[in-house]
């Protein structure tokens, strides 16, 4: 069942086409990453789904509601830069958010306790939000987005402004939440998406250029790679390997070279033979597959 079905969604401003005829579905119970560089149209797309801006054309529907019903009741939304009342405690803010969403104060208090426990803020519920770290504020924002029990949680760049510790807190929380609700989140940090998402959507210059399950995408663009790290700069050793019929191309980063190969087993054996023959000082040798970032760069070229 599709929580959201997007068809030819388009947003045009006076001098710019921000999103161009984007079509996709969000399946119930899945965590989907909307990927792309800054300016790709991720925030515009999410804001259209959240009902914050009006599409120029296209439609957004749900199998969970009749066409005439307002989809915003299904959605919990956290913007990229959420605002808080720093003088409120986390508990006060949650109850306030619940009442704004039309929930009774008694029910809002009950849900607040459960949600603050879920996001790991129970011990800090009486602290002023102004004293919270960035990661704590982001977790509070996620709890607020869940206060009305939405069917879809949408997060716009939820970790991009956080330090490594705060980023890890939020990613672990998202990993827990995806077992309980449908999630759509945008990010330009592809390693984060690869860690927790089920499905991926690639946006580039306002166009949806690729999409599918993470496993499907990785299989579709599967490439075998050998990574070699040398004690010295890799440049002086490349000449020994580039004549191999199994090595298609290479990239160098300092003392490490990545070879894209056609046959992992044969290339591995040949590379080791060459290293021994020429006494090449290898300190690391491993096989790997294309990362989501590698795939994205290939798709948008």
Q: Do 147 and 259 belong to one domain?
A: no
Record the tokens describing residue 25, joined without a space. Answer: 């579905």
Instruction: Assign residue 100 the CATH number of its domain.
Output: 3.40.50.300
Last residue of a domain, one of 201, 219, 237: 219
Q: Do 228 and 208 belong to one domain?
A: no
Strand order in the sheet with 2-12: 17-27, 2-12, 57-61
CA dist 203 and 278 (Å) reads 46
Q: Do 51 and 169 belong to one domain?
A: yes
Q: Do 215 and 173 belong to one domain?
A: yes
- Give the pLDDT confidence of 25-48 residue by residue, as tens digits: 999 999 999 999 989 999 999 999
* Position 56 confidence tier, pLDDT thresholds 50, 70, 90: very high
Whether residue 143 contacts residue 118, with contact meaning beta carbons closer than 8 Å, is answered with yes
CA dist 199 and 174 (Å) reads 14
Work out the angle between the directed axes of helices 90-100 and 134-145 (0-180°, nearest 10).
30
Task: Quote the number of domains for the chain.
Answer: 2
Flag whether pLDDT at 68 surpasses 70.
no
Q: Provide the whole-model pTM.
A: 0.83
DSSP 3-state of 247: strand
- Give the pLDDT confidence of 145-198 residue by residue, as tens digits: 999 999 999 999 998 888 889 899 999 999 999 998 999 999 998 888 999 999
Q: What is the domain extent for residue 205?
A: 2-219
Q: Do 124 and 236 belong to one domain?
A: no
Q: Do 249 and 184 belong to one domain?
A: no
Q: Do 228 and 157 belong to one domain?
A: no
CA dist 95 and 106 (Å) reads 9
Instruction: Assign residue 268 the CATH number of its domain.
Output: 3.30.70
Q: Do 178 and 250 belong to one domain?
A: no
Helices (H), ranges, the chain: 42-49, 90-100, 105-118, 134-145, 164-177, 190-196, 214-220, 238-241, 264-277, 292-300
Q: Do 292 and 176 belong to one domain?
A: no
* Position 109 confidence tier, pLDDT thresholds 50, 70, 90: very high
């Amino acid at each position: 069942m599709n929580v959201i079905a997007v068809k030819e969604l388009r947003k045009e401003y006076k001098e710019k086409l921000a999103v161009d005829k984007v079509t996709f579905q969000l399946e119930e119970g899945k965590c989907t990453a909307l990927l792309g560089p800054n300016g790709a149209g991720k925030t515009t797309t999410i804001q259209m789904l959240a009902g914050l801006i009006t599409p120029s054309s296209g439609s957004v529907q749900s199998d969970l509601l009749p066409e005439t019903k307002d989809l915003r009741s299904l959605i919990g939304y956290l913007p990229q830069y959420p605002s808080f009342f720093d003088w409120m405690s986390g508990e006060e803010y949650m109850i306030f958010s619940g009442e704004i969403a039309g929930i009774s104060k008694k029910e809002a208090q009950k849900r607040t306790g459960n949600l603050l426990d879920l996001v790991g803020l129970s011990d800090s519920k009486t602290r002023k939000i102004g004293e919270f770290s960035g990661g704590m504020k982001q977790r509070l924002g996620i709890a607020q987005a869940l206060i009305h029990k939405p069917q879809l949680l949408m997060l716009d760049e939820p970790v991009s402004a956080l330090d490594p510790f705060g980023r890890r807190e939020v990613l672990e929380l998202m990993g827990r939440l995806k077992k309980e609700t449908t999630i759509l989140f945008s990010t330009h940090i592809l390693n984060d998406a690869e860690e927790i998402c089920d499905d991926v959507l690639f946006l580039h210059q306002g166009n949806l250029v690729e999409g599918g399950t993470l496993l499907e995408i990785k299989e579709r663009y599967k490439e075998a790679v050998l990574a070699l790290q040398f004690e010295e700069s890799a440049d002086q050793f490349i000449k020994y390997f580039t004549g191999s019929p199994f090595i298609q191309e290479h990239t160098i980063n300092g003392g490490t070279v990545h070879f894209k190969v056609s046959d992992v087993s044969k290339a591995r054996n040949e590379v080791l033979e060459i290293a021994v023959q020429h006494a090449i000082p290898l300190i690391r040798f491993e096989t790997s597959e294309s990362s989501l970032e590698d795939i994205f760069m290939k798709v948008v070229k």
